[in-house]
Structure 1
Amino acid sequence: MARGIKTMRTRLKKIIKTSKKKKATAVKSSKTPKSSSVKSPVKRIKASPRKKAPSKTVKKPSSRKARVKKVSAKRASPTRKISVKKVAAGTSKKTIVRKKKTEAEKAKIKVLAKKKLKKIRANKPDFLEDRKYNEFLLSVVGEEGIEVAENVSLEEISDVELAEGMDLKANIIRKYLYALYETGVVTYRRHRSKTGWYTYYWKLHPERIDMALNEIAGKDINYYERELRQERENQFFTCKNREECGRVIFDHALETEFRCNKCEKKLEFTDNSNIIEGLEKELARLK
């Protein structure tokens, strides 16, 4: 019996040892990396990844509504182009072809213009005899411009008629008329013919000359009053090069220690009583 028990113990020990060995080998096999034969193809794929072939998109059969829309769009495309052309043609500006005037027509216009101007000159307006008005027009347009002003003073007349009747270029006539228009003594009216040509008719209003003169006089009075105030309230100093360097007031002379800021020469007091007297006379004349 004792022997039997010993043998049983030895067998159990062997079984336990073998089971322990099997467990140890199983644990080692799980921890150790996979064999090279299994791993090599995976490594190759990672090292040099192959380009993916473009996936072919399989078109799904479109619905009936989508097919109808596509067909309608295809049909509508040519009609849209045509409609755009039609709109473009409709909105385009009409090119008006103007016929050139013949020499006979030009001569006729010239004769009629001269007759009209002759009639106007026969009834010379009274306001041009006034020296004040004459001086005003001379200052604005000069001697040649006074004749233009005279021709538009009684009735409306176009700049084309003035140019033909006075034997002057139309742009010269317009230059004088615009100068008078800026002062407010001349107005114009624009007329459009059937051919789309614009004609400008001009008229001078003598009663507006007084308003223009008063406006100019008011500006001049303000200017002279300001200058007179400055001359009375300040003392002026000049150097020998008065024309080049100009005058300076006392405060500026004191800052530079009575030396000219430009030529550095000595500044001396100048009497401005003559300037004050001249400004006072000019103000009295304007008022």
Structure 2
Amino acid sequence: MTDAAAIDAVNAWGSAAIPGFDLAAFVRATLAEDLGEGGDITAAAVIPAAARFRGVMASRDAIAAAGLPIAEAFFRALDADVRVERLVEDGARVAAGTELLRIEGSARAMLTAERSALNTVQHLSGIATLTAAYVDAIAGTGATLLDTRKTIPGLRLLEKYAVRMGGGRNHRMGLWDAAMIKDNHVAVAGGVEQAAARAKAAGIARIMVEVDSLDQIEGALAGGATWLLLDNMAPAMLRDAVARVAGRVPTEASGGVRLETVRAIAGSGVDYVSVGRLTQSAPAADIGLDFAAI
């Protein structure tokens, strides 16, 4: 495998696209998982070494595209001379039948990389497409759509990138970049105000506090909350909560948000709506890759 080819692909893409993501390492580990100890025994047995293929990756549904530069890196990792024409940029919304990528190169390499490339694009485009549907649903409300930490272990950076490609924004990236005080923290700390005060005393700048009742709001603010997560509240209750907060800190609605309910929730006046299902439950986009011998 050619690490340099994968690195070249990410350099052409722009390494700032996913801060902290090591594309070459991801490609290497993903292909190694598929190849195992024996390699692609089917391609080696059936496809002549000198055979060349031309292929087209296309969407069968209307989607928001994400992950195409990563797919390109898979093909380049196995065939440094592969010709790739990216027809769509990540973040673009395209109609069913749109060609996304054209490739030409070693038939064996293309067949070996095919599933890893498709899995990645299908998964990430699925997240971007679902995110775009939620973004459209809350358009004009003034609220911003956020993701959560409900991501597949090891894929968080990629999945949160896909959310951005769908028009959403990222919440916390992990446990390290903000305090998030939830009901279990509150139970041990002895109350919402005490929990927030402890986070403030620890020198934490961003202190997000989950409240599930209106009477917790003042305590959370008194303790030093810089953000309130309004958990599992109906729109009427959310409006009351927003009025009580009165702009002192940002407000976020969270918990059980679905596509059919998100607009009413966003219309309550909250600043943000977070949706776990963007990364937890997004269906894979229907994308195919068809090859023809040259």
Instruction: Compare the two structures and name the one with the higher strand fraction.
Output: 2
Q: Which has the larger radius of gyration?
A: 1
TM-score normalised over the length of structure 1: 0.24
TM-score normalised over the length of structure 2: 0.23
Instruction: Compare the two structures and name the one with the higher helix fraction.
Output: 1
